Amino acid sequence: MDAISIVCGIVLIITSVLLIISVMMQEGKGKGMNALTGGDSYYENNETRTKEKTLYNISKILVALFFVFSLVATIVLALVK
């Protein structure tokens, strides 16, 4: 293995761990019992939307990076052989 394939592997692992963390931090779409008791306020809804939108955008970027790094790692490993 040369240095490029090692770097691609490390970057791919870091990207995949960050992607898992960003997806796990997102909340579900269901409101649950909180909506029944009137616990949703306008402020809470908007605050959640901005946090969720930020996490959603981060997840989209990480998915794209994961896809690109996967292709690059596959091409590099094919060229090394």
Q: Is residue 26 part of a domain?
A: no
Q: In whole angstroms, what is the distance from residue 76 CA to residue 53 CA?
A: 34
Report whether 43 contacts 13 (CB < 8 A).
no
Q: Is residue 58 part of a domain?
A: yes
Tokens of 11: 């970057």
Q: Is residue 71 part of a domain?
A: yes
Q: Is residue 30 part of a domain?
A: no
Instruction: Please state whether 26 falls in left (phi above 0), alpha (psi between -120 and 50) or beta.
Output: beta
Which residue stretches of the chain have pLDDT < 70? Answer: 1, 28-48
Q: Is residue 36 part of a domain?
A: no
Residue 4 sits in which domain range?
Answer: 1-16+41-81
**pTM of the model as a whole:** 0.69
Q: Is residue 50 part of a domain?
A: yes
Q: In whole angstroms, what is the distance from residue 27 CA to residue 46 CA?
A: 14
Q: What is the pLDDT of residue 1?
A: 64
Q: What is the pLDDT of residue 52?
A: 83
Q: Is residue 25 part of a domain?
A: no
